[in-house]
Amino acid sequence: MTRNVGIAGFGTIGAVVAKRLAEGLPGLTLAAISSGRREVAEKRAHELGLSVPIVSPIELASRCDIIVECAPTAAFLSIAEPALTAGRTLVTVSGAAILEHPEIVDKARAGNGQIVLATGALLGLDAVRAAAEGNIHSVRMVTRKPPKSLRTAKHVVENSISLDNLAEPLLLFRGSAREGARAFPSNVNVAAALGLAGIGADRTELEIWADPTRTRNCHRIDVDADSARFGLEIENIPTDENPGTGRITALSMIAALRGLAAPLRVGT
């Protein structure tokens, strides 16, 4: 059985996912795209050789079995609610939006839908989820990104923090993953995912650094549990179009889609 896939948000991530779907993922077909910038989306679709309709989020939910949500954080609810109410599967990387709108899980339950949080930008979440079945004592995450990856972050802009000409790493935030997700909603979705997978966003400790010595978006997590103690580190290569987003993010969504249709799925 082939399932129809719709993409909501046709920017850096959405275009990569659409192109891979068009090239062929077993059991899946690209059926429609939704974007807040219709003319831009039509132009990009034409450049990629895609012949699919550009529709509203509500129509996307009526046409498609699976909705890939990769739109700006502010648009999350307008995409997620109709999809989940219609009983669709929502694949997203917006961990911060899920923390901000926890009622969306109830929407999924009531509509017999499902939310799949793709987390390839942060490794080791299978181990964190397993440890959470026992007792986790502490979870700590340290994010270090080159200044260009954080210049447009909500916290940086609102506090008029200059990241130009940094000579040494600058600590921008220290607190809980929930607080960090609110301050950096488009930059640390991985921290929100870590909180959701483990002991909760309020108990997950987070630091965010603007680090001029780094050229990649780096995340380090340390977990201490009654079943295991482990530390994991990943260095994500930023995309050219949006330095705050790593190249692996779109690939994470593609892997999640492949897992939905595959006869064998390894891990999440």
Residues belonging to the active site: 219
Angle, in degrees to the nearest 10, between helices 103-111 and 76-85: 30
Q: Which residues pair with 30 in a beta bridge?
A: 5
135 labeled part of a ligand binding site: no
Contact 223, 138 (CB under 8 A): yes
Contact 112, 177 (CB under 8 A): no
Judge residue 177's burial from the number of C-beta atoms within 10 Å of its C-beta, 0-12 exposed, 13-18 middle, 19 or more buried.
Answer: buried
Q: What φ, ψ does residue 81 adopt, rounded to 5°?
A: -60, -50
Q: What φ, ψ does residue 115 adopt, rounded to 5°?
A: -110, 125
187 labeled part of a ligand binding site: no
Coil, strand or helix: which one is 37? coil
Residue type, 161: I
Query: What is the CB neighbour count within 10 angstroms for residue 236?
Result: 20
- How far apart, in whole angstroms, are the C-alpha atoms of residue 145 and residue 213? 9
Q: For strand 217-225 and strand 229-236, is the pairing parallel, antiparallel, or unpaired? A: antiparallel
Annotated binding site: 121, 189
Annotated binding site for NAD(+): 121, 189
